[in-house]
Structure 1
Amino acid sequence: MRIAVISDIHGNLLALEAVLEDLKAQAPDVIVNLGDCVSGALWPEETAQLLIDKNWLTIRGNHDRQLFDRPLEKMGASDAFTLPLLSETSREWLQTLPATERLCEEIFLCHGTPTRDNVYLTEKVVGPKGHMASEAETREKLEGESASLIFCGHTHIPRLIRVSTGQTILNAGSVGLPSYDDDHPNHHVMESGSPHARYAIATKTGGRWDFTERMIEYDWDRAAMQASENGRDDWAASLKNGFFGPLS
């Protein structure tokens, strides 16, 4: 059994296309998408249409939800840019996505935590940055979920964590946005440190799971240029260097 786990594309069509090309060589049996599909400053409609065509098992991310649970004037900049560009077909698809899913009895899929799509499972915010949460904190945020393997996203930081219950948590990182800032629960940044598109492969051989992080080069200069043209120099910097902050 070989599963490709992708998450947090954020409308970065170029990064997604590079991942798709890499997946040809990886030849997974199943591909799952853990949400935050289109919101951002790049190519939301084109990304949505590609994902609709692929028909992967896809979980709703917090930004997928936020596109429809508040008026446009109360949205953040990324969501407000995205919504007007989406076709009715894309809107309907996003609104039908489940909050969580079980791939099988052994594997649980979520975007943030098992019960909250806007809370980090594998990270905690300390001061101005996100850091890996403690084992106890991570276990507490599982809130009783008993699956032996949990796939999550939301943080944009790849992690593989095994807690004392014997459960393994795989955070695949972000396909399309390597760094960002957020004000929940307080202002902080999340940074992967390079501009590569990231996803993960989980492989079961016999009774053993092995995990591989894939870090894929793509034309991030073009993606950064698109973000700048759409008025988001902050995204341009993140896309180009993987850290949050102005380009030097």
Structure 2
Amino acid sequence: MKIAVVSDIHGNLPALEAVLDNLKRESPDVVVNLGDCVAGPLWPEETATILRETNWPTVRGNHDRFVTDDPIETMGPTDRFAAERLSPENMAWLKTVQPTIRLTEEVFLCHGTPDDDDRYLSELVEGPKGHLPGEATLLEELKGEKSPIICCGHTHIPRVIRLPSTGQTVVNPGSVGFPSYDENHPLRKTMAMGNPQARYAILTRAAENWTFEDKMVDYDWETASREADRNGRPGWARALKLGFFGPLS
């Protein structure tokens, strides 16, 4: 069995299209989407249309929830941009995505942690950056989830983490569409992949073992950067172009 795992597209249409083209060569048995599909100052409606047509198993991300559930007057600019541009059909589709998905007996899908789409699983924030959590922290955040493979997103940082005491593996594919960001919730922090490529992961089951591959895909990030800048988000523009967030330091 070969599973492609995408996450955190954030309305980046050219990045999604490049990943779709790459997936044709990979020919996975199934593609799964870990959420945060459209929020961002880019192409939310066009991205949602493609994702709706793929019919991929899709988990609800925290920003998907904000876009569909929060009053528009209380939304931040990232979510409001998407909410104001989604057609009724695509908004209805986004409301159908699931909080978590048990894909098989071995593979569990979530956006953040198994019980919270707005908590990090594969990163521990201490100070202004995220760091690899210890095994005890990871096991606590799993809240008793026993699946051998747990796929999560939310952090935008690719990781494959094996838990020695349980033999479980936590896989974060990174972000298709937004390689770096900063936020104040719950702590002020910056997360960065350090390059502008679109990222996703391939999981392959062969005999008794799983293998994991981090995929990096070139796309026209200059166009994505210009679109973010045109829509009044220079921080997004720099992150999309360089893979780092904020001014040079």
TM-score, length-normalised on structure 2?
Answer: 0.98
Structure 1 unaligned residues grouped into runs of 5+: none
1:69 corresponding residue in structure 2 = 69
Indicate the residue corresponding to 1:59 in structure 2.
Answer: 59
- 1:192 matched to which residue of 2? 193
CA distance in 1, matches of 2:209, 2:242: 36
1:132 is aligned to 132
Superposed displacement of residue 103, structure 1 = 0.5
Q: Which has the larger displacement, 120-129 or 191-200?
A: 120-129
SS class of match (1:86): coil
1:147 is aligned to 2:124:
no
| Cα displacement (A) at 1:79 | 0.2
Structure 2: segments with no counterpart, 5+ residues: none
CA distance in 2, matches of 1:185, 1:123: 13
- Find the aligned partners of 2:68 and 2:14 in 1 and give their Cα distance: 25
CA separation of 1:247/1:18 partners in 2, compared to 1, >3 Å: closer, same or farther?
Answer: farther
1:205-225 deviations in Å (ceiling 9; x for gaps):
101100100001100000000
- Name the stretch that deviates more: 128-137 or 17-26: 128-137
Q: Tell me if 1:214 matches 2:188.
A: no
Give 1:134 shift. 1.4
Residue 7 of structure 2: aligned partner: 7
1:167 aligned partner? 168
State whether structure 2 residue 229 is matched by structure 1 residue 237.
no
What secondary structure is seen at the aligned counterpart in 1 of 2:190?
strand
Does residue 182 of the first structure (1) align with residue 183 of the second (2)?
A: yes
Please say which of residues 127-136 and 137-146 is displaced more in the overlay: 127-136
CA contact (8 A) 2:68 2:94 kept: no
Partner SS, residue 244 of structure 1: coil
**What is the alpha-carbon distance in structure 2 between the residues aligned to residue 99 and residue 132 of structure 1?**
24
Given residue 74 of structure 1, which amino acid in structure 2 is its aligned partner? T
Q: 2:40 maps to which residue?
A: 40
CA–CA separation in structure 1 for the residues paired with 2:153 and 2:70: 23
Aligned with 2:69: secondary structure?
coil
Contact 1:100 1:114 in 2 (8 A): yes
Q: Which residue of 1 aligns with 2:157?
A: 157
> TM-score under structure 1 normalisation?
0.98
Q: Percent identity?
A: 58
Asked if the contact 1:237–1:247 (Cα under 8 Å) also holds between the matched residues in 2, the reply is no
Matches of 2:15 and 2:223, distance apart in 1: 10
Q: Deviations over 1:40-86 (max 9, x none)?
A: 01000000000011110111000000112221121111001110100
